[in-house]
Amino acid sequence: MISSPDNDNSPDEPMVFIIIAKAYEVEGGEGIDLHVMLAAPDDDTAVRLALNALSEEGFLEADLDQIGMITGAPNEEPHASAYQGALEGEVAIIRFN
């Protein structure tokens, strides 16, 4: 009996998503540009986890503009440490002012 299938499509590392967003801390206030990086099994879960994390950080509302997968570790900060945090199960929020 075969213990592992030949067509195993599971990735070696977790899928790390990056979500580009604009979030609002106060109603009617100016939005803050953000990148959210996290590991998730699919894009729906990634969106849900990102929105929960933004809510926990005090954001009232968020416009999610784009979502994509990161295929390799970034070389430059702050994305390199955010990627590592995502691999460790954290939701990293990068703010741009």
Token match 């009996």: residue?
A: 1
Separation CA 83–CA 1 (nearest Å): 38
> Could you report the per-residue pLDDT of 52-69, keeping only the tens digit for each?
999 999 999 999 999 999
Alpha helices in the chain (DSSP H): 43-56, 79-87
Q: How confident is the model at residue 1 (pLDDT cuts 50, 70, 90)?
A: very low
Cβ–Cβ < 8 Å for 29, 74: no
17: region left, alpha or beta (phi > 0 left; psi from -120 to 50 alpha): beta
> Could you report the per-residue pLDDT of 6-51, keeping only the tens digit for each?
445 555 667 999 999 999 999 888 999 999 999 999 999 999 999 9
Average pLDDT for residues 75-92, to the nearest whole number? Answer: 95
pLDDT the model gives residue 28: 85
The more confidently predicted of residues 80 and 1 is: 80
